[in-house]
Structure 1
Amino acid sequence: MIANGHIVGDGSWDLRVFVTDLQTERLIRVKGDVHIGGVMLRLVEDLEISMDWSDHALWWPEQNIWLTRTRSTLDQCGVHADALLHFTPMHKNLRVQLPDLRYLEMRVDFSIKTFSTVAQVCKELGVRHPEELSFCKPLEPNHLKYNYKDMPKKRYDQNGTQKNGHIPSDTNTFIANSSPVGSTGSLDKSPFMCAPVTPSRPPPSSTPIGTPVGNSGTWKKNGFGSDSNGTLNYSGNVTSSLSSEQLNGTFDSSLAHSPPSPYPEARRHLIRPKSLVEKARMNVAWLDSSLSIMEQGVREHDTLCLKFKFYVFYDLNPKYDAIRINQIYEQAKWQLLNEEIDCTEEEMLMFAALQLQIKLQANQPQLSIDSNGTAPSPVEDDIDAALNNLQTTLEGSSINTFSNDITQVPELKDQLRFLKPKRFTLKAYKKYWFTCRDLHLFMYKSREEMMHGQNAVFNINLKGCEVTPDVNISQNKYVIKLEVPSSDGMSEMYIRCDDETQYARWMACCRLAAKGRSLADSSYESEKQTILDFLYLQKRAEEPVINPNTLDIQVEDFIAPKYLKKSKGKLTQRILEAHANVKDLNLIDAKMNYIKAWQLLPEYGITLFVVKFMNSRKEELLGVAYNRIMKMDINSGDHQKTWRFNTMKAWNVNWENKHMMVQFEEENIVFSCLSADCKVVHEFIGGYIFLSTRSKDASQTLNEELFHKLTGGWS
């Protein structure tokens, strides 16, 4: 029987396809054995419009997936007669906020995994090592009020609009359709909700870099995830177009130097966490690197934030990384000003002084690096750098710093003050003789006992300890806080040094020993010098080198809100006094010093999550760092237990009940994550394991397959 030109009963049916560029729907007569590529070919032939469709693919809104495997059949993809597919460009406009809070309008691939999209964006921006960055969704104050599992849910119809006539779907809706490859039912099909938010209005304009891309959908794919000319642009009304060569030159000079102050709209959208729990809740916004951004509720013209996610900056080289260094500096700056990471008042003034020097140097010609980001005399500079590195390595690895006998194991010996606090008792520091040898700290009552190695009062294995500074230079306070693993958790101990030199020696020693490195390690001398430099930068000069009346310093742009209680004039004076210590630094050195000082803060590089451990009813804090995970007190942040990655055997997730299990040599831990999906924690752990495989001896090709194997939830 024939009806409408088709044989009825032959197994064929009409497939509805909506062409987004033309805003029209077409019916394609198909069978279940038709390949996806065949469907697109028939559709293009039926449209009879001469244009480039090479960047188009089929998107299935109901199932929230791309049908990009062109050789798969409709039956294999599960597409039936009631399905509505969208024929839409894979490359779409995305509004990207950089770490310095600027917005870029970019043409990115919405159909590939987020990890690959970030790599393409970074290549286009000239940022090396894209594996250190990722996309996260913009947050609003409401997002800090709830844990992930307690957030109010919204219901959406199949077109992505909210039912019951309320606001449309916001950009903080994470929707995952299917499990990560190889896992067992991860992420369900339910929406991932950050919290109800109001749609944010974009700033009306920003500094233009290129021409906004039209919506004609005539773009071709290339290696950068942009249009055929590699065009990207700042949001705003722009009329001029730039070639890729001009564009690259513009980016070198623009992204490596941020504006003196961000766009007011961007700053107003910053949220400031007021507790450790709120800091943990901010990590709900990270996208899943194993899914495309389209699968996570992101649509064309939405905003995503590009941020450094993993705090291990590999091969940070001023010659090649002017843009990368600037964006790391900017992220560090806003973390401090936004109180996402704590520091003391003296440290805050030091950071403000460095920020002021960077601001002053930004307007000065820089002789050390030319417009291409390379030194004027590369041959001489490479030789000098190689000689300096060789000298540092030889000096740092020499155990003769401690002993003239090359057969002896290096050790430190000193008289220090010690305190082990106890409940309900007030005890003062008492003097003891200390020696550190083979990762162990020994404490003796007398120098004679120390020299003979007899009757040690304490023997502390420093490996696996948490080492935290407690320093106040103006009060001559140089204290090392040790949290030592014990059967009852972590025991606190305090070692007080007499001066900064003694403190630097012992702090460097304890930090390296906690990582399992002895005093013979080549990095000991550089670690000690870094600590001394950090302390020097915090010292107050007798008088500033700049007249306060010649500068208009808005102190709120330099100082975190909790330190703004003093008068503006006094704070300005303190900033200028601190600035005297850094007045001779050029632009890149000032940024590098800022980054190094940021890395020395106790809270640096620790990503927090609210969790519940198995067989425990109370909420606790989990901190994930580059080399360990920590169980922490949810109110004070004190460390209760530390597990090092070098003792980890496996980590996996039970996707049915969202419990994560991490197996260590000493024990197994099981917990559920309350402040984010367990996939986020899984990805942080796997990501740091992935980053630890990088070395100068290894291939510098980005191994995406290994990254997804370690982070994607594979069983």
Structure 2
Amino acid sequence: MIANGRVVGDGTWDLRVFVTDLQTERLIRVKGDVHVGGVMLRLVEDLEISMDWSDHALWWPEKNVWLSRTRSTLDQCGVHADALLHFTPMHKVLRVQLPDLRYLDMRVDFSIKTFSAVAQICKDLGIRHPEELSLSKPLEYNHLKYNYKDMPKKKSEQNHNGHLAADTNTFIANSSPGGSTGSLDNSPFSCAPVTPSRGPASSTPVTSPTGNGTWKKNGFMNSSDLNNTLNYSGNSTSLEQLDNLDNSLAHSPTIPNPEARKHLVRPKSLVEKARMNVAWLDSSLSIMEQGVREHDKLCLKFKFYSFYDLNPKYDAVRINQIFEQAKWQLLNEEIDCTEEEMLMFAALQLQVKLQADQPQPQPRFDNGKSSSPVFEDDIEAALNNLQTTLEGSSIGTYSNDITQVPELRDQLRFLKPKRFTLKAYKKYWFTCRDLHLYMYKSREEMMHGQNPVLNVNLKGCEVTPDVNITQGKYVIKLEVPGTDGMSEMYVRCDDETQYARWMACCRLAAKGRSLADSSYETEKQTILDFLSLQKPSEQPVLNPENLDLQIEDYIAPKYLKKSRGKLTQRIIEAHANVKNLSLVDAKLNYIKAWQLLPDFGISLFTVKFMNSKKEDLLGVGYNRLMKMDVNTGDHQKTWRFNTMKAWNVNWENKTMMVQFEEENIVFGCLSADCKVVHEFIGGYIFLSTRSKEASQTLNEELFHKLTGGWA
């Protein structure tokens, strides 16, 4: 039958497609067996506009999904006559905030998985190992006040032309990770909270003055588009505006972005620190699927604290951005440190500032055979280390005979705290051998191998420093796993040399490595270097009257109670220890000191374990999971990744089960979606597969297999 010039009943129907560049809607006559590519071809022919459409794809707003498989039919995609599709560019301008708080306007693919988008962003910025970074939505103080499921939600509003306004103020539904059981499809699933409303400007697609308004595929912005972008972004910058990409990103602005700093949120408790991890995007979904629209702000940050092959020759940008992220974590009190450590960090930061405008020594490389720079002083240091290794340690308490099991012996003071009792430290004789710590009442009992009064298996222990150089306090806090949780004990050393030996020994043993491990001497020296940087110098080299120090830029708020003059003087005294460091060495020392802090690299989540009525903290490190007290942060249980057999998610009730050799644990995450925890665990497992022997090609398939929640 024919009506109005069309055959009725032939199975065709009108598909509504909104062309975002032209702000116009077209009707395309289709059948269910028409493939997605065919729809786009018909649409372009119908528009009759000569321009490059190669970067365009179909977006389905109602289902919040890209129709990216061009060979799939409309029936296979579930598209019916009531659907409204958007024909829109896949590459859009994203306002990216770097770890140093500056903003860059970047052209990013909104249609690919976030992991792939981050890899492309890092390639454009010259940052190696993009697997260590990810994107997160900006946080507001409101996000620290609520758990993930209790976050207030806002209703989507429609704009005047009837189309849904771009809105990231709601938790929108996303499709499940590819290959999963699909149980996510019926429930809201987003790893990130909402961002502030962007205002009316961002809800209208941007077109160029010439009318063709699209980007060339794999190209950059032209001058007119760049001007439009800058007019919108205000104080952000585009890549084209940076004179030299490597130099510009390797040196951060002296004065941080005021807008970005104003919007930094400072956590005031462990629970609030845990809630900060709600903001990470899901690496398995595209940026667009997670409520992000053109000109929105996202933060590019280091997510996984396992930095592989930091090399000044290739990583000037990467080192600088890690340094900046460490700096803002400390100033924002996201990670704790002592007052002495804070002054040391301030001194290193001051040295970075002073060296930024100075000519730097050029590193000399070993004919391309080594990936590490070689300086004259380093050669001498390497020879000294080699001599020490060949001749053996000069410390009499360390047995270095290769025919014997390495052993450490010393007289130390010991304390095992008990409730309602005040006990002082008592002297005992200690020996450490084969990952075990033995304690004896006398030297004779130790030498004759009698039964020790205490035998501690250090493998799996939590080892925490408790040091105050000014007071001469060098304490090692051990938290030992047992049937009733973790028991505390304290070992006090007489001086920093003794402390460095035993702290290095305990740290390695906790990871399952003995004194025979080649990294022992390096670990010991690193601890000594860290302590030496905290000692105030009696002869400062800087005159405070010649310095314009804004104390807030160097010291965390909790240490600002003292007078500014006194703090400035103490920073200058601490600076004398680092005055000879080059720019890159000052940054690397800052990063190394940051990595030595007890709380470094521990991402927190508020969880509820199965059969438990109370909330606990779950800490995820690069090599372990930790159950912690939600109020005090005390460790209650540690599970090492090297004993983990499997980890998976029950998407129906949003709980995780992790199987270890010793036990299985089941918990639900309260402060973020369980997918975020799953991705942290899988991400660290993925990073552990990196080695110089293995291919350095990024294995995205393996990453998604380990983090996506599907087999």
Whether these two folds match at TM > 0.5 is yes
Q: Work out the CA distance in 2 between the residues paired with 1:233 and 1:135.
A: 26
Q: 2:494 aligns with which of 491, 498, 510?
A: 498
Preserved contact between residue 104 and residue 235 of structure 1 (Cα < 8 Å): no
Query: The residue matched to 2:230 in structure 1 has which SS?
Result: coil
Partner of 1:557: 553
Structure 2 partner of 1:325:
319
* Residues 626 and 635 in structure 2, CA contact (< 8 A), matched pair in contact too: yes
**Equivalent of 2:285, from 264, 285, 291?**
291
Query: 1:638-653 alignment to 2 at 5 Å?
Result: 638-653=634-649
CA pair 141-398 structure 1, distance change in 2 beyond 3 A: farther
Give yes or no for the alignment of 1:457 onto 2:458: no
Matching residue of 1:15: 15
CA distance in 2, matches of 1:654, 1:475: 51
The residue number in structure 2 matching 1:185 is 183
Which of 666-675 and 395-404 deviates more?
Answer: 395-404
Distance in 1 (CA, whole Å) between partners of 2:162 and 2:194 is: 11
Change (3 A) 1:139 1:15: same
Query: Which residue of 2 is the match for residue 51 of structure 1?
Result: 51
Determine whether 1:416 maps to 2:412.
yes
1:598 aligns with 2:594: yes
Q: How does 1:190-269 map to 2 (within 5 A)?
A: 190=188, 192=190, 198-199=196-197, 216-222=212-218, 226=220, 236-237=230-231, 250-269=244-263
Q: Relative to 1, partners in 2 of residues 1:233 and 1:381: Cα closer, same or farther, differing over 3 Å?
A: farther
Cα distance in 2 for partners of 1:671, 1:687 equals 19
Structure 1 position 539, deviation (Å)? 0.2
| Residue number in structure 1 paired with 2:671 | 675
Deviation (angstroms), 1:115? 0.1
Other-structure match for 2:304: 310
What letter is aligned with 2:430?
F
CA 1:481 to 1:376, structure 2 compared with 1: closer, same or farther past 3 Å?
Answer: closer
Query: What is the CA–CA distance in structure 2 between the aligned matches of 1:106 and 1:605, rounded to whole Å?
Result: 28
Which residue type is aligned with residue 556 of structure 1?
A: E
Do the aligned partners of residues 95 and 404 (structure 1) sit closer, same or farther apart at CA in structure 2, a change above 3 Å counting?
Answer: closer
Give the aligned partner of residue 207 of structure 1: none
Q: Which of 576, 579, 585 is the matching residue for 1:583?
A: 579
Cα gap change, 1:395/1:481 in structure 2, threshold over 3 Å: closer, same or farther? farther
251-260 or 668-677, which deviates more: 251-260
Q: Which SS does the other structure have where 2:399 is aligned?
A: coil
Cα shift at 1:250? 1.3
Alignment match, 2:337: 343
Work out the CA distance in 1 between the residues paired with 2:274 and 2:122: 27
Letter of the structure 1 residue corresponding to residue 55 of structure 2 = D
Provide the C-alpha distance between the structure 1 equivalents of 2:412 and 2:12, rounded to a whole number of angstroms: 86
Q: Which amino acid aligns with 2:271?
A: V
Shift, 1:299, TM fit: 0.3
Give the secondary-structure state (helix, strand or coil) at the position aligned to 2:244: helix
Q: What is the alpha-carbon distance in structure 2 between the residues aligned to residue 604 and residue 643 of structure 1?
A: 17
**For 1:107 and 1:246, how far apart are their aligned partners in 2?**
11
- When structure 1 is superposed on structure 2, of 50-59 and 402-411 the one drifting more is 402-411
Give the match's secondary structure for 1:643. Answer: strand
Provide the secondary structure at the position in 2 that maps to 1:474. Answer: coil
Letter aligned with residue 529 of structure 2: D
State the 1:189 CA deviation: 3.7
Report the Cα offset of residue 388 of structure 1: 8.3
Structure 2: distance between partners of 1:379 and 1:465: 39
- Paired with 1:672 and 1:308, the residues of 2 have a C-alpha distance of 25
Change (3 A) 1:193 1:168: farther
Note the C-alpha offset of 1:542. Answer: 0.8
C-alpha distance in 2 between matches for 1:668 and 1:571: 50
Q: For residues 93-492 of structure 1, what are the structure 2 equivalents within 5 Å?
A: 93-156=93-156, 169-170=167-168, 173=171, 175-186=173-184, 188-190=186-188, 192=190, 198-199=196-197, 216-222=212-218, 226=220, 236-237=230-231, 250-368=244-362, 384=374, 400-401=392-393, 402-403=398-399, 405-492=401-488
Counterpart mapping for 1:58-97 below 5 A: 58-97=58-97
Query: Structure 2: 5+ residue runs without aligned partners?
Result: 201-207
Please give the secondary structure, in 2, of the residue aligned with 1:636: coil
Query: 3-state SS of the aligned residue for 1:54?
Result: coil
Residues 435-492 of structure 1 show CA distances to partners (whole Å, capped at 9, x for unaligned) of 0000000000010111111120101000000000000000000000000000100000
- Does structure 1 retain, via aligned residues, the 8 Å contact 2:177–2:708? no
Report the RMSD for the aligned CA atoms in angstroms.
Answer: 3.0
* Stretch of structure 1 that moved more, 179-188 or 585-594: 179-188
Distance 1:232 1:286, change over 3 A: farther
CA contact (8 A) 1:467 1:510 kept: yes
Q: Which amino acid aligns with 1:94?
A: L
Q: Which whole-Å CA distance do the structure 2 matches of 1:160 and 1:444 have between them?
A: 81
Please, which runs of 5 or more residues in structure 1 have no aligned partner?
203-211
Matching of residue 572 in structure 1 with residue 568 in structure 2? yes
Shift of 1:291: 0.2
The residue identity in structure 1 corresponding to 2:183 is G
2-structure distance, mates of 1:295, 1:3 = 40
Give the share of equivalent positions with the same residue, in percent: 76
User: Whole-Å Cα distance in 2 between the matches of residues 316 and 675 of structure 1?
Assistant: 32
Q: Contact 1:114/1:292 (CA < 8 Å) preserved in 2?
A: yes
- Deviation track 1:160-192 (CA, whole Å, cap 9, x = no partner) reads 9999x9x97335745412344234513644264
Contact 1:89 1:217 in 2 (8 A): no
TM-score normalized by the length of structure 2: 0.92
What's the offset of the Cα at 1:218?
Answer: 2.7
| Deviation of 1:252 (Å) | 1.0
Q: Which residue of 1 aligns with 2:5?
A: 5
